[in-house]
Structure 1
């Protein structure tokens, strides 16, 4: 929540013009997402204009829901006299101005963190350490952008004693606006690297842009061993404001490391020779760098060393993401076990709201240890629980019980996690949606382990944020009015059709397409309401088309007649899509069919024409550009012939993922987005612009040392001429790891290093060469993902990424997350 403001104050802060409605309103919350409004009477909705959608589109529905105050662009045409309108030149800038005002009311220390890598980890770990002594506000997840920073500021409450905010930029000119908002007293510059180099004239310019965040800061913490960064800091930041640490003598803090079997000892010596010694269970270089930043930050704020050590003892690896997992007894689990503050809870509940409906919504929650005494956070937790209509709250800790009297029989409380685990019975849960969120100290991982469905040791992780990023990449290349149909056939290219379709539905996609009727039926049974086109409907499934409101593709005069006759006999009205064959020569109407087809359409009273489309056969490749253009011209002619004499104009579409890139002038009314959404840019021109959506990973089952000349696997195909070590992984061709990867054609990544396949891929296992590597059972192996190109793997065995994606077996567990 924010400090209460009146609309006229907001208008003054943003230099906007105001039209007061009939209902007086006090603003206590600000929202940019219509789906996340929980207190309409006291919420200001800011209508941002994004790449895929204009927030103003949702204003009519929000008015119906009781919201009465809107911040809109000055050219917005809304005139409803019942509500209050604040009109501004730029809604994003206005959001930032309101955030800057709210920040000015916070008179306690604020720490700003920026850098190329480690920002989120340092923010989380520093927040956890400081929570041992202070009530801490911190930006949720990776909320570090032009919009994320303002939203983070709105989470700062008067009872917080310190705020920790991270800031990220991707191009020149962005930091100035964020500095105006945050104005941190203490800064941490984590490091500098290659991330977003393309957005700046040079690496030095990128450092200088980031340093703008600290232009009025009292102190800036950095590692002096990063020479490029140090050079710029010493040129632009006064010496008296610098707090440098280094592994070499002469810095404000000189660090010595003693790496041990179970962690590392960090010794920091100040210039006056006073010394601090800390122990952490982490021993890798990156974690120790991040921890050192956090320790120096806490010391600079005056936190006692013993309390810092207490915080270090509780640190665990940060999984900065919400994960959606299959649970026992047809439940779905939302794993948010890394988060433990109000903003994190709000985000997790909003994520829960977007999921498909289940029998009950259950929240398993711990005390909010980082938020101080319960009187600071319990009332808001209760409001969130009630607003999101949670059916059952299971609380752990001594503080949460204060909300119990307001929840009647909808709550169950336990003092410890062990007592909860003793009470939990798997049979109690059935077809439930369960959100598990709690402080690290409560060890809720054990709750997840109890409720999680056990399918297979191999996991396919689907990054829903990457999916959104890729959608926006293509959406930006379309005209605003162009609709988008997304292909979710073949189990959504292996990713899981229901969960991906649900996410697409929340993103505002216009249409979905599946291969077969039963795929559409499954989507409908799981609450997907978007229009669904069925590419290959079979005659025996006609009744399902009507029952589940599915829209079949019609590809021949004979099929049209059969479907029309059935629909007439059943008194059914079906929307249909026409497939024109312009060169694929698979299915579809020919040019000579147009006249007869038009006559059948006009005569039919039961089939309504929804769209006309064609398939491009070679949009992926430059070599086929001339043929693709011939297809598009032929399609233009065929559809013009058909449409003569038709009263209603259907949607026209031809472009697939490759076509969107190569032939944007042929967008017509809609495009069909397939493999591109999942992170594969088939034309090869924009590979760096897309993000990998799927990561297939498994773990090492066993490591063996072999003597020279020994063989591996069936038919003794794997020969270890010089001996060495092999690791066995629980993934085989029955899981979708293609047998053609045998004998060195395929590889995995273990500890960031390539481990080639040895011998034949087995049905359920594969062996890889880990000679010269320190690998043990339980180590993670990446099969493909961001670090291993799916296109490169496919080329190695003479196939295409589509095949590798769609071959992932259903026995491989899918985990969906927001990072």
Structure 2
């Protein structure tokens, strides 16, 4: 058992005050993710943009009584708290978890590499869960923060640990090695991911190999030339640990040369792959239910480990054949009866349940939250204590209804039934639930599906999810968060961030994006029209919202829903002031738009004296911000204009602020200006298209992640003879025997007609297929003559990671903004978090 006193000794910190010795079980780094206040230790991390010490008062009020701090705490402010003072809270986190790791003497598998880390980890869990009580990294927790959070929950009942580690710059792996201290290592592969932090690929390999400095065995593929050379050099450097103990041993596999596991062939059928090999001169094989090269490689890594563990080939073959897909993301979809459905139906353990509940907690669009939960397998706890903890977790996360499926959770239903306000029902099997399923039992709620694979919750998902058009737009919420954080990293510490969610968040959705931004602490939202703001308020968005195009007819809604209008003319100022006075309000927040050269909307320099007089003489309005709009911040050839706009904005805003007599937020920088014109960041910036993964200046594009993927499917394949025509107007003529694929998208979905007759292309089976004929309202035909084996139902990528929307815009002679905002509302959005 850990308490403040014992942890203080481990860290050699100063125990500023001690008021008791409550047991500490959970480490808390994010105040928004508090679940168990009585047993949590809050460690406030400090970065250039955020100092988490500011959340101590809030957490203390919520019942947290254990804190590690790196700043002095006012004496007597937290009389019931235990407070440990250290020099650096991040270092303290690493040291504490590294010490905790040393208390266990079990096999620990450490996994690193460029790709496949999470898949290998999850497959190893599937393959070994019958033989070991396993603790593993939740999701892709492999960073300087994620690794400590993964290792900390290790308990005496665990008999095997599997942790992944990732780095983005030199020096990081040294910290993670001390925390994981793997006995067995797996280096999956090496690629270009996160290359920007390293001099070259060999430096990146050598930095990653640091994870295995104290390991007994390293599994790797010899076929990556640079990796093989670096591993051999590393092996020579590590040498013997001492005269009595063997050093690092290598277990190699290869498809090209001699190795411990020599892959002799990979025979693929339509649905599976047979992998043949020689191991210790004996022919062996496995069959996996996957055919892609990534899965083959990942399976061989798992195979090598199982061979090292001495498992029989018959057991290995049986379990490999049963490998299942890994849910790499939490999907948010539209459901029946105005519900939203979060599908996480491939695994169920406490770690991943907590992550899924945190994602559920972010969703504010419905008044009620429901969890459908299967038995939790391989927890290492007694069922009674396990489900008491789960029930407590549901209570902390504000869950309104739980549906339990499975013998164990049903047997422990009293843990849930005793919670006031929590509705509960229980079924022994998924089949029993489906037989009694009634659509009307689910109305206006967000539903989380969380089940172990054997419970086949995908069947429940089909009942709850709204039937959709097969053309869908996938929105990667993790990519949005990544892009926001990247732009935040470019800002000065005091600069605020306004996120543009107008035009249905550039086609990405409204409340789904706003929920994410609110959760990640963005300061302001901006919408084009009042009805967009009202919709966000209806779905639980409480943060400030600026309306950029307020119309007199919308003033009532603006006042009722506490929206903040942009004021750009004396006439609009007069009309809104009158409305505020009629409503009996004073000090209502507004934003003043200045025209510095865009010549679209805004007050000009000559208007400032009269504007200042009216605002300073009236108590009806309070100016929250003064802003302007840059015309060409992304274009180096127009930097002279940007500089002129900036100078004029400084002059006009200074004159207005001087007359007001109080400080206002000033902002002029858009996405491109954040990076190209840091002198214009001022008090706040407005992040628009950059948040969605598009850098209009193309200076940091490689550091952003694409957010949207538009995909559809093949409806029918046609085999044509020379001279056959395709589509309206017979504009496309087959020059010889040809094959076309009709796909389920058209200009009514937002696919531009300008992309007709080969101007546009889509990805089919990984290859570009040009448009054949004229784009129709609901259908597009593609020439797939050069692509073998195209069949009905094949997935087709319209744009995404492998075919950027920027390329589509070039083909259509337009800009990415138009493509993204033009995606029709009939195209269903599917949101996911990695």
Q: 1:728 aligns with which of 738, 742, 756?
A: 742
CA separation in 2, counterparts of 1:410 and 1:278?
Answer: 47
> What TM-score do you get using the length of structure 1 for normalisation?
0.96
Which residue pairs with 1:386 in the alignment? 395
Whether the 8 Å CA contact 2:137–2:162 is kept in 1: the answer is yes
Matched, 1:690 2:704: yes
Residues 472-508 of structure 1: per-residue CA shift (max 9 Å, x gap): 1111111111111111100010111111011100110
Q: 2:618 aligns with which of 604, 611, 618?
A: 604
Distance 1:137 1:547, change over 3 A: same
Matched, 1:494 2:507: yes
Which residue pairs with 2:412 in the alignment? 403
Which residue pairs with 1:128 in the alignment? 126
Per the alignment, in what secondary structure is the counterpart of residue 749 of structure 2?
coil
CA separation in 2, counterparts of 1:555 and 1:762?
Answer: 42
CA separation in 2, counterparts of 1:579 and 1:240?
Answer: 65
Which residue pairs with 2:694 in the alignment? 680
Whether the 8 Å CA contact 2:288–2:322 is kept in 1: the answer is no
Which residue pairs with 2:24 in the alignment? 27
Alpha-carbon offset, residue 77 of structure 1: 6.5
Alpha-carbon offset, residue 552 of structure 1: 0.8
Q: Which moved more, 1:79-88 or 1:663-672?
A: 79-88
Matched, 1:452 2:465: yes
Alpha-carbon offset, residue 197 of structure 1: 2.6
Q: Which moved more, 1:661-670 or 1:517-526?
A: 661-670
CA separation in 1, counterparts of 2:64 and 2:261?
Answer: 53
Alpha-carbon offset, residue 355 of structure 1: 1.1
Which residue pairs with 1:260 in the alignment? 269
Per the alignment, in what secondary structure is the counterpart of residue 324 of structure 1?
strand
Alpha-carbon offset, residue 796 of structure 1: 2.0
Per the alignment, in what secondary structure is the counterpart of residue 424 of structure 1?
coil
Q: 2:814 aligns with which of 799, 803, 812?
A: 799
CA separation in 2, counterparts of 1:745 and 1:564?
Answer: 52
Per the alignment, in what secondary structure is the counterpart of residue 528 of structure 1?
coil
Alpha-carbon offset, residue 278 of structure 1: 2.5
Which residue pairs with 1:91 in the alignment? 89
Whether the 8 Å CA contact 1:128–1:370 is kept in 2: the answer is no
Distance 1:309 1:157, change over 3 A: farther
Per the alignment, in what secondary structure is the counterpart of residue 187 of structure 1?
strand
Q: 1:137 aligns with which of 111, 135, 138?
A: 135
How many residue pairs align between the two structures?
Answer: 815
Whether the 8 Å CA contact 2:214–2:248 is kept in 1: the answer is no
Whether the 8 Å CA contact 1:132–1:308 is kept in 2: the answer is no
Alpha-carbon offset, residue 517 of structure 1: 0.7
CA separation in 2, counterparts of 1:689 and 1:707?
Answer: 47
Matches within 5 A, 1:521-600: 521-573=534-586, 574-600=588-614
CA separation in 2, counterparts of 1:477 and 1:77?
Answer: 33
Matches within 5 A, 1:351-430: 351-356=359-364, 358-371=366-379, 374-375=382-383, 377-408=386-417, 410-430=423-443
Q: 1:210 aligns with which of 208, 211, 225?
A: 208
Distance 1:399 1:81, change over 3 A: closer
Alpha-carbon offset, residue 357 of structure 1: 5.2
CA separation in 2, counterparts of 1:51 and 1:431?
Answer: 41
Matched, 1:159 2:143: no
Per the alignment, in what secondary structure is the counterpart of residue 790 of structure 2?
coil
Alpha-carbon offset, residue 515 of structure 1: 0.5
Matched, 1:790 2:790: no
Matched, 1:243 2:251: yes
Alpha-carbon offset, residue 443 of structure 1: 1.5
Alpha-carbon offset, residue 621 of structure 1: 1.0
Which residue pairs with 1:171 in the alignment? 169
Alpha-carbon offset, residue 240 of structure 1: 6.8
Matched, 1:38 2:35: yes
Whether the 8 Å CA contact 2:738–2:785 is kept in 1: the answer is yes
CA separation in 2, counterparts of 1:52 and 1:418?
Answer: 50
Whether the 8 Å CA contact 1:160–1:371 is kept in 2: the answer is no
Which residue pairs with 2:767 in the alignment? 753
Which residue pairs with 2:62 in the alignment? 65
Whether the 8 Å CA contact 2:387–2:415 is kept in 1: the answer is no
CA separation in 2, counterparts of 1:513 and 1:805?
Answer: 18
Residues 520-578 of structure 1: per-residue CA shift (max 9 Å, x gap): 11011111001111111111111111100011111111111111122212212321111
Residues 212-265 of structure 1: per-residue CA shift (max 9 Å, x gap): 111211111112233322222222226971112223564222234333343122
CA separation in 1, counterparts of 2:256 and 2:647?
Answer: 69
Matches within 5 A, 1:39-58: 39-50=36-47, 52-58=49-55
CA separation in 2, counterparts of 1:617 and 1:200?
Answer: 36
Matched, 1:347 2:355: yes
CA separation in 2, counterparts of 1:631 and 1:174?
Answer: 42
Distance 1:403 1:540, change over 3 A: same
Q: Which moved more, 1:362-371 or 1:253-262?
A: 253-262
Distance 1:695 1:80, change over 3 A: same
Alpha-carbon offset, residue 168 of structure 1: 0.9
Whether the 8 Å CA contact 1:175–1:210 is kept in 2: the answer is yes
Residues 286-325 of structure 1: per-residue CA shift (max 9 Å, x gap): 2111111112212322334444334323322223111111
Per the alignment, in what secondary structure is the counterpart of residue 235 of structure 1?
helix
CA separation in 2, counterparts of 1:817 and 1:478?
Answer: 27
Matched, 1:816 2:813: no
Alpha-carbon offset, residue 266 of structure 1: 2.8
Alpha-carbon offset, residue 818 of structure 1: 1.2
Distance 1:425 1:90, change over 3 A: same
Alpha-carbon offset, residue 348 of structure 1: 0.5
CA separation in 2, counterparts of 1:725 and 1:77?
Answer: 76
Segments of 5+ residues of structure 2 without an aligned counterpart are 240-246
Which residue pairs with 1:777 in the alignment? 792
CA separation in 1, counterparts of 2:812 and 2:46?
Answer: 44
Q: Which moved more, 1:736-745 or 1:355-364?
A: 355-364
CA separation in 1, counterparts of 2:445 and 2:489?
Answer: 37
Matched, 1:290 2:298: yes
Which residue pairs with 1:270 in the alignment? 279
Per the alignment, in what secondary structure is the counterpart of residue 683 of structure 1?
coil
Segments of 5+ residues of structure 1 without an aligned counterpart are none
CA separation in 2, counterparts of 1:78 and 1:191?
Answer: 52
Whether the 8 Å CA contact 2:410–2:428 is kept in 1: the answer is no
> What TM-score do you get using the length of structure 2 for normalisation?
0.95
